[in-house]
Structure 1
């Protein structure tokens, strides 16, 4: 915008034309700003238009002021760029506005603007001074609105893809990550792991829902740490899932680490354990993998909980912690 504004300085030579244009642009910019404030996200384009118009006329004002002070036109481009860059660093509090105005007038005074105005009697320079200050103030408002819109948009996107309680990806985000893996052009690969807190209802009933929330938050952090860069998330209630791109030994090691880490939790006044079901991703239909992992998880619950069950042709079974066997369910 600064470059466009500088180029536009050579398009308006008449002081009268500039004065009339300045009155017009203040009205237009005010209307655009009002529209942008009243409908922040829907009409953000008005900010761009208003910012462009303001920058052009502010840059023209810089040329007029610098020419009147005798500094020369070669200062127009660097000062125009510096003005635009400074706008992006402006906070949106009244004290900053006051300091900004004082600094602007100080720079005008150091540039000999007052003496040039009195000597020439050309009061159109006063319009130029007003344009500089007004441009900075309007531009800071534009920046504030754009920044607020950016923050709000980022927050909404984060809420849409992140679980509010645990802070890890939610079901939607996890499924999107799975689809991305399935569509990466490679044959289906990896293992789907599903984990569920054992006797979670008892934790809520005996210790309260706050204790249950603490358990879920801690388990979410354990899942995230164990998954690393693998897709993972909370897929509902006390149930979590992750996709592990590795061989059976790698999957068994991750599952074992999960069980051990949860057993060491001391955040509530009772022991906490999880059951884990694992299924190999063998086809393009994710529903099949989820169904197989869920069946394995159900088998783990029936097998005494606090254990891991593989669905399908898993081999190389080891021993689970606390003396429980790592079960293997036969079938599809």
Structure 2
């Protein structure tokens, strides 16, 4: 299966598969639709078979083969766990649907008469299943080949001799348009939801987790962390003076620069902006390591602004306790931060209580 991330923009929609999260989202959207469409195709064939059987000479062996193939494709779709599995199961089922209708068509007096209506019906109905233009185009052309092989309506030397080919061409174009429309719709919907999630959980100025995301993740860590964890409450010293002296644009630059320092040093440890000039980190590790990390943050922030201006931070630390609400650790870290401010700023204080 092609990976669209390795393709040029011109081929993005041709072999579309998307990033893992996007594939999973598309799979959830397509799973029910594919099952419904493939079930409809099998039901339509079964009804047509029951109506055709008394008046036609059918190849029952091929009819049984077609029914088996359709059932296999439908079962695969029902138990599919990925977008790729949907494409594979859809391909198998649709091609066998085309083959099944060819079997019924050959049992009629004029098989060529049914090629165009059957081909149009199958190719247009199945357009939403395939996430990728090349996959749909290949399957639709395969259906036309199965139905039309040896029985394509040809009106040579007649005024309407090009109409059958025109009908096939138009149906393929319409099917492609539908396929592209559904694909673009799903892509735009995914991107809109992703952007909304980003706005809902990311701080717009610094790019860090916002207060909501940080709090949710911190609560989850309370119950899942295997190591001791410490809550670091971080506040920029005299931030109002920076805004008053240099303006709010300069203040925003200070916020972003400090956020970069925090994010760079935090690595896999949870960090975020709580609002205003307050930041926070959940450090997972022993007490000595947490204190060393806090000291490194203090020194790194001060060094990041030399020689432009003097900017520093104060940090309050408290152990993240599992048996109490997050607000308890938050309050204890805030108390430590208050002590750090009163003790001269540009330092960290650990709440030993």
**Residue deviations 1:48-87 (CA, integer Å, cap 9, x gap):** x8614999999466433576577x9xxxxxxxxxxxxxxx
Q: 1:244 aligns with which of 283, 292, 295?
A: 283
Asked if 1:160 corresponds to 2:249, the answer is no
Q: 1:286 to 1:68 in 2, by over 3 A?
A: closer
Shift of 1:245: 1.3
State the secondary structure of the residue aligned to 2:272. strand
1:91 corresponds to which residue?
A: none
Shift of 1:129: 2.4
1:11-30 matches, cutoff 5 A: 11-12=100-101, 13=105, 15-17=112-114, 19-20=116-117
- In structure 1, C-alpha distance between the alignment counterparts of 2:137 and 2:305, rounded to whole Å: 65
1:62-81 matches, cutoff 5 A: 62-65=142-145, 68=148
Relative to the length of structure 2, the TM-score reads 0.61
1:220 corresponds to which residue?
A: 259
- In structure 1, C-alpha distance between the alignment counterparts of 2:164 and 2:139, rounded to whole Å: 15
Do the aligned partners of 1:162 and 1:170 also contact (CA within 8 Å) in 2? yes
**Residue deviations 1:261-317 (CA, integer Å, cap 9, x gap):** 1111238952100011001123432111000000110111111111111111xxxxx
Shift of 1:20: 4.5
**Residue deviations 1:88-114 (CA, integer Å, cap 9, x gap):** xxxxxxxxxxxxxxxxxxxxxxxxx99
- In structure 1, C-alpha distance between the alignment counterparts of 2:310 and 2:186, rounded to whole Å: 49
- In structure 2, C-alpha distance between the alignment counterparts of 1:268 and 1:50, rounded to whole Å: 63
Please tell me the root mean square deviation across aligned C-alpha atoms, in Å.
Answer: 3.5
- In structure 1, C-alpha distance between the alignment counterparts of 2:115 and 2:249, rounded to whole Å: 66
Q: Report the count of equivalent residues.
A: 250
- In structure 2, C-alpha distance between the alignment counterparts of 1:306 and 1:212, rounded to whole Å: 18
- In structure 2, C-alpha distance between the alignment counterparts of 1:276 and 1:221, rounded to whole Å: 17
State the secondary structure of the residue aligned to 1:301. helix
2:128 corresponds to which residue?
A: 51
Do the aligned partners of 1:278 and 1:309 also contact (CA within 8 Å) in 2? yes
- In structure 2, C-alpha distance between the alignment counterparts of 1:141 and 1:179, rounded to whole Å: 41
Shift of 1:158: 1.6
Do the aligned partners of 1:57 and 1:131 also contact (CA within 8 Å) in 2? no
Asked if 1:195 corresponds to 2:195, the answer is no
Do the aligned partners of 1:9 and 1:60 also contact (CA within 8 Å) in 2? no
**Structure 2 unaligned spans of 5+:** 1-89, 106-110
1:261 corresponds to which residue?
A: 300
